[in-house]
Amino acid sequence: MKTLIQSFAAVAAFTTVALAEPLTFDFKDPKGVNNVVFKTDAPLEAISGSASGVSGKVTFDPANPGATKGKIVIDTKSMTVPNKMMNEHMHSPMWMDVAKHPEIAFEVKELKNVKTTGNDTTAQATGTFSMRGVTKDLTVPIKLTYLKDKAAARMPNSNGDLLVVRANFQVKRSDFNINPGSGTDKVADEIDLSLSVAGISPK
């Protein structure tokens, strides 16, 4: 009888996990820590900056990380570099044209080559990357770290789970009509992007 009860309990636990709904993580960070770092390395200048206006939502199932989908959005106006004049140029119509193109977004449609070890999942994320009115299909390596019940450790007085998304990849400004072919001695065509952002799924 004891064995039978244990078997029923195991089946019930498995059914609960199997039927659990994917969690939705919100990347609008009240703490203001989330950011994306960008860098260009041209013959005359290496320029580094960051964008802090991160938002978006991602659905993640701890029992099936490969089914992850979602969208991370960057407020283009939040892009900054240390030099004030460079910052003004970057926001201008010739470059990022933040007035007409207020968002940069990467929408994940599918994960491939998914590998999960403990809390960490690595994969190739396939989706669409949109910047300055141009949308391109893109596949980038990502790492997802699921931290159950760790929201309070990041944000006091909060309750829920954390999902940290990390990615490093490169895009070309010429592909997105960012002043193509101009100023390449100071602003390289290749833009390196580094993303490390945390989203909360409240309970």
What secondary structure, in 3-state letters, does the chain show?
A: CHHHHHHHHHHHHHHHHHHCCCEEEECCCCCCCCEEEEEEECCCCEEEEEECCEEEEEEECCCCHHHCEEEEEEEHHHEECCCHHHHHHHHCCCCCCCCCCCEEEEEEEEEEEEEEECCEEEEEEEEEEEECCEEEEEEEEEEEEEECCCHHHHCCCCCEEEEEEEEEEEEEHHHHCCCCCCCCCCCCCEEEEEEEEEEEEEC
What pTM, to 2 d.p., does this model score? 0.86
CA distance 182 to 53: 27
Q: Where do the structural domains in the chain lie, given as residue ranges? A: 22-202
CA distance 198 to 166: 9
What are the structure tokens assigned to 187, written together? 């602003």
Q: How far is CA 195 from CA 13, 54, 149, 164, in A?
A: 36, 10, 23, 10
Report yes or no: 170 and 190 within 8 Å, Cβ to Cβ.
yes
* 22-202 to CATH, choices 1.10.150.20, 1.10.3720.10, 2.40.128.110, 3.30.70.2170: 2.40.128.110
pLDDT in tens, the chain (203 residues): 545 445 444 444 444 444 568 999 999 988 889 999 999 999 999 999 999 999 999 999 999 999 999 999 999 999 999 999 999 999 999 999 999 999 999 999 999 999 999 999 999 999 999 999 999 999 999 999 999 999 999 888 889 999 999 999 999 999 999 999 888 899 999 999 999 999 999 98
Q: Which residues pair with 161 in a beta bridge?
A: 201
CA distance 73 to 23: 19
